[in-house]
Amino acid sequence: MQVFLYKRIGDYLLPSQEGDVIVTVSNFLIKVYDRNSGLELKDVKFKLFGNEIPHLNKLKELEKATGIDVDENYALAFPDPEIRILKLNQLAGYVFEEYVYSVLSSYFNVKRYKNSGIMSLPKLGLTFHNTPDMLVEDKVVVEAKVGLYELEQIRDYERRYSKGVIVFPWAGKCKTSRWVCFNYFLKDYERVVRYIRSLIS
């Protein structure tokens, strides 16, 4: 659990070491309390710094397009602007991955892996990558990305899985050795469905 202090400025909360508002963040859960009374505060708004606004707008666009909602305050509760952006991108990645899983599950048997990993061989085991997001029909790996990704991570996956796709909600830069990249999944996911069918048939 992480704990931060904020102060009230009008209708918004602003980071302050002498603030009268306590904010706790644990996993995706956020709680806000009045420091003096101990009462929990609801419907709080965090003051935006500015740099996080494009990332927040991206998250809201994804929520609207997918129908999957998350609590943006999980990210905005962090007083560090860079961490806010990182957390907003994590939320966007979560929303998009959930949507991709939902879509593909309506066509295929899809497994998800969260707790195991693959060692990065070029780095002699110093880097540990989580397993890919999804495995379709035990044959085709699907990675859902909302922005930049680690090329080394994809190369590690390609060594183990010969068939795979990387999907983006909008346009995205993508470079792989064997896998295929698909942009604009939100607008046209059927292209991905058709391609996966061609791989498993």
Residue 124: the pLDDT is: 37
Distance CA 30, CA 172 (A): 31
CA 195 vs. chain centroid, Å, equals: 24
114-168, pLDDT tens digit by residue?
544 443 343 334 455 567 899 999 999 999 999 877 788 888 888 889 999 999 9
Residue 129: the pLDDT is: 54
Q: Which of 104, 120, 110 is nearest to 154 (CA)?
A: 120
Q: Which of 21, 57, 7 is nearest to 170 (CA)?
A: 57
- Using the predicted structure, report yes or no on whether residue 51 has a pLDDT greater than 50: yes
71-81, pLDDT tens digit by residue?
999 999 999 99
* CA distance between the termini of the chain: 47
Grade residue 27 by pLDDT with cuts at 50, 70 and 90: confident
Lookup: tokens for 124:
């002699």
Beta bridge partners of 72: none
Lowest mean pLDDT among 7-16, 121-130, 156-165, 174-183: 121-130
Residue 123: the pLDDT is: 36
58-70, pLDDT tens digit by residue?
999 999 999 999 9
